[in-house]
Structures are given as C-alpha cells and as structure tokens.
Amino acid sequence: MRTYDTYKDSGIAWLGQIPSHWEVRRTKNLWHEVKSLSADGQEHLLSVSQYDGITQNNEGSRSESLIGYKIVEPNDLVINIMLAWMGGLGVSRYKGIVSPAYCVYRLHETQSAKYFHYLYRTPYYLAEFARRSTGVIPSRWRMYTDEFGCVASIVPPLDEQEAIVNYLTNAIAKIDEAIAQQQKMIDLLKERKQIIINEAVTHGLDPNVPMKPTGIDWLPQIPAHWEMRKISSIYLPNIGSGTTPMTGNNKYYVDDGINWLQSGDLNGSFVYETAKKISESAMKDYGLKLYPKGSLVIAMYGASIGNLGLLQIETTVNQACCVLCPTDKIIQEYAFFSFVCSKVHLINLSSGGGQPNISQEKIKAHKIPFPPIDEQSSIVSYIVASTNPINFAIAHSERMIELLKERKQIVINDVVTGKIKVS
C-alpha cells in the first residue's frame, strides 16, 4: 500500500504523525449539538449499537410515548454518552428519533460525515473518549458535549475524505463477505454435529435394533431395551442451584477467590473458568454450595436459557443455573449429549413473559432416553470421535473470523489516520 509523501507531527501525543496537508481541529469546530424534539413520537425509532452503529429499531420501545425523543437526520452523529468509550456512537443513514439521553450532533460545514463515523470508532478515539468520560466506575462513565467538543479530530481535505469512505466501503464489504462465508461454514458444521449427536442419543449405534414408541412428541421412538427416565429419578438428591451475593459489595466479589458461575459462562462444552469469583464471606453469608468437577449445568432463564456446560472446575453458581452433580446412575457426558438433543423441547416448556424461565421442577420432570451404562459409554466415545474433527473445523473458522475482524479494524485505522494513502 502507498503512503503519503510527507508527514507532520499532529501536536497530539495520542494521534502521532499525520499527512502534512491534513488538519487537526477541535470537534466543537466541526460539530454542533442539535436538540430538536419529536412533537408526536411517530418517527421511526433508531438504536445506537457499539457493534453496528445506528440502526433502525424494529422491536419498538418500552416507553409508552416517544414524544420528546430527539430527532435525527441523515448524516447526524449520535452518541450514547454512557457508551461512547465502548463505541456506542455512529453517523446515521436514517431519519428518525433516539432516546433523549443521547447526544445528537450535526456538521457545521460540508464534510464527509461517514469519514468521521469511521474515525471516531477507532481504538485511538475510543481511548480518548474514555479519558474524557467522567464517573466513579466505568458503568457510570459519561462523555458530555463539552468534553466531546475538546477532542482533536483529524480532518483530511474533503476529496480525500470521500476517497477514504469509498475505499473503506469496498474493502469492508469484501471482508464482511468473507466473514459471512466462514459463518455459513460454522452453521453447516454445527448442523452436522447436531445430527450426529441426535442419531446416537436417540437411536443408539446399532441400526438394526428393534424400536418401541415412547409417547413423547419430540422423541417418538427409542431402542426397545432402553427406558425414558425422568431427571429426578436419575439425579435426586444431586440437583441444586445457587444465588447472587449482593452486587456492588467489594467484600463479596474478589479477583482471586472462589469460582462463581453465571449462566453466561455456559458455552455448550467444558467449563474451565468463570468470569467472576467470590469470597469466603459470600459463601458463608449466602449459604452457597461448592459443586464438584463433572457436574452438568443448565441455564434456567435469561439470554442464555437452555445453555449447557460440563464443569472441569469446582464452582458455586447463581440462581439462574440448575446443577446436576455426578452420580453412578449415568455418565455425565451422555447426560450432556441428551440435553443437547432435547434443548429445544426444554426451552419450549419455559414460562414467563419478558424473561421466560425453565424451572428446576420442569428440569426434574424432563425425560431423557436412558440406555444401559455400557451403551452410554459407547455412545459417548462414538460422538466424541465423530465430532472432534468437526469441532476442530469450527474452531478454525471461528479463528478465521477473528482474524478477518482484526484485519478490518487495522484497515480502517490505517486509512482514516493517514498511514495508508488510498487516492
């Protein structure tokens, strides 16, 4: 890739050098805040995402009325002041309205708003937005208009801004297409993996075995010598859950403590670590139990409902997790694969409105196909041997996606800051 002929010191330590003919201007000299409010709330509601920028919200709002929401015009810059430092901002392609808690900015003069969309979402600017945000803890940080106005913006000539936008539009489209192809491959591999597990868990390994009806919708037949067993008949009294110690209490949440599993830690595979750890005092004050390695955990509600994990560590859990501790009645890996097969059925049994949940009682009453122990072992060995190559291929594609995402960010960073010349 080409570079510019000459560079100069931008005068801003965190920006470093820029092409000699580019400018550095305070954001307040480029943008002004606009506060036009909706009179009837009938405009299309827009969302501000740290991942996708400004998008049209097709799910509606929880508010009874959108009157007084801020009006956004195409090419306006919208910033979620609480998430600016995490990329919660973008230039809108749409006319609509956003939450009154957001800030809306409009260019003073003819510039390429899309160029600044790319610029302000680079790591350089997100770090500067974090530095200029105020608040006691990150979850309460806010970047207000006065601080945003003091940020130094790199400003190439307009024709170069437009050339940069055109280049990035094409380059990003190619990278996104490559990402989509990798994701399609992952979806196909996961589908193949699911078929292997379903066949083995519901029919066994002998294609000629006599079958019998079960009277269960999601699994009409199983081998004649198998049973359908309730989870309670296999695991009681080895079933448990946990709770959440008071949040914000520093004596309960520590960096180096006892593992504390949340449903979000469940990854559909082995669980080797937890995002949070708690202290001995939390264990004592809340009567928490430490569950052993080899336990099977099922998420009962929330965004992770139905997710599974096989513990490779000892851990406590929160109240959204149902734990099935090891028992000599069943091989835990076989139980895990059985839940993989029946996950959709189990989720369909959930109840509740805004946050559906699978109660522990429903998990206890849930039935799974139950072959003899020796067959359970053979089925597990077969599934592991058959799906290991698939898991490897999935991991490879996931790594390719991460590399492509990194490549996309590097391209954006280098082009908008002048390290690479595109015109």
Mean pLDDT, the chain, whole residue set: 93
Note the pLDDT of residue 249.
60
Dihedral through CA 277, CA 283, CA 289, CA 292, nearest 10? 40
Distance CA 396, CA 13 (A): 38
* CATH 3.90.220.20 residue window(s) in the chain: 23-155, 186-387
Distance CA 19, CA 377 (A): 66
Is it the case that residue 8 has pLDDT exceeding 80? yes
Quick: pLDDT tens for 132-142: 999 878 878 99
217 by Cβ neighbours in 10 Å (0-12 / 13-18 / 19+) ranks as: exposed
Structure tokens at 203: 């029919």
Q: For the chain, how big is the Rg over CA atoms in Å?
A: 27
Q: 139 vs 310, which has greater pLDDT?
A: 310
Buried b (16+ CB within 10 A) or exposed e, 16-28: eebbeebeeeebb
Note the pLDDT of residue 325.
97
The mean per-residue pLDDT over the stretch 20-46 comes to: 94
Distance CA 396, CA 390 (A): 10
Quick: pLDDT tens for 327-349: 999 999 999 999 999 999 988 88
* Residue 19: strand pairing partners: 7
Distance CA 111, CA 159 (A): 9
Structure tokens at 6: 């000459």
User: Residue 415, CB half-sphere, CA atoms under 13 Å: how many?
Assistant: 27
The mean per-residue pLDDT over the stretch 173-197 comes to: 97
Buried b (16+ CB within 10 A) or exposed e, 296-330: bbbbbbeebbbbbbbbeeebbbbebbbbbbbbeeb
pLDDT band at 352 (very low <50, low <70, confident <90, very high): confident
Note the pLDDT of residue 157.
97
Q: What dotted CATH number matches 186-387?
A: 3.90.220.20
Is it the case that residue 354 has pLDDT exceeding 70? no
23-155 is classed CATH 3.40.50.2300: no
Buried b (16+ CB within 10 A) or exposed e, 123-145: ebbbebbeebbeeeeeeebbbeb
* Residue 117: strand pairing partners: none
pLDDT band at 150 (very low <50, low <70, confident <90, very high): very high
Is it the case that residue 62 has pLDDT exceeding 60? no
Quick: pLDDT tens for 239-278: 999 999 987 667 899 989 999 999 999 999 999 999 999 9
pLDDT band at 42 (very low <50, low <70, confident <90, very high): confident
Note the pLDDT of residue 353.
63
Is it the case that residue 92 has pLDDT exceeding 60? yes
Cis peptide upstream of residue 100 (ω within 30 degrees of 0): no
Note the pLDDT of residue 61.
53
Quick: pLDDT tens for 206-243: 999 999 999 998 899 999 999 999 999 999 899 999 99
Residue 167 identity:
Y
Spatial CA neighbour of 134 closest among 79, 85, 201: 85
Distance CA 116, CA 388 (A): 45
Structure tokens at 400: 């390719």
Spatial CA neighbour of 32 closest among 127, 149, 131, 142: 149
The mean per-residue pLDDT over the stretch 69-97 comes to: 95
